[in-house]
Copies of this chain bind each other. A is one copy, B any other.
Amino acid sequence: MKIYGDIKSGNCYKLKLICALLDIEHDWIPVDIMQGETREEGFLALNPVGQIPICVTDDGETLTESNAILYYLSSDSDFWPRERLAQTRVLEWQFFEQYTHEPNIAVARFIRVYQGMPEERRLEYEARLKNGYRALDLMERHLDDRRFLVGDSCTIADISLFAYTHVCEEGGFDLSSYPAIRAWISNVQQLPGFVAMPMTPSS
């Protein structure tokens, strides 16, 4: 199995993390978004959407969308619950991540860390910061009396949300008044087999 990704992208790191936690062998093929490599013809032939990560199975199937790939890699493990209601809760959090969380929290980090906060994106950055805090508020309230997002153990919902939440301070968010989120981050970091995301150059 091959995974094409940039380890400092949260969406790609999700796959690095699940592979480490489940001890899944794979070749990691680095793709540099900042150098435009996802817009090159060879890559677009693999994924016409032009996004990383992608996963190419040993049968030659190309899988896209980080959260769908998490399902593919984990659906026979404890990271995907057995009951339909709990499974639905996992999907709820994953869709929340892609619609409400990532577009604000990941993009704020991208503008600040990777683009160096260009003046023409400052207003947009402020809006994403505000909406990102709203997403964090919802997580904080939910995690107040829970160790993980769904049930008693870590699921792919946690992997999906952990990826950008644990580095959100690089994007300008302040987690000091989010004790439940900080405790949850620590719970994920203490999982057997956990691997950290490499530090970004500027952090």
Contacts and interface: CB of A to CB of B under 8 A. Distances in A.
A64 interface: yes
Contact of A75 (B63, B68, B84): B84
A110 interface: no
Give the one of A49, A63, A95, A102 with max B CB within 10 A.
Answer: A95
Interface of A: 48-49, 61, 63-65, 67-69, 71-72, 75-76, 84-85, 87-89, 91-92, 94-96, 98-100, 102-103, 138, 141
A96 B61 contact: no
A128 to B, nearest CB: 13
Contact of A65 (B61, B85, B92): B92
A100 B49 contact: yes
A50 to B, nearest CB: 9
B49 A68 contact: no
Given A48-B141, A49-B100, A49-B138, A68 B85 contact: no
Contacts of A49: 96, 100, 138
Nearest to A76: B84
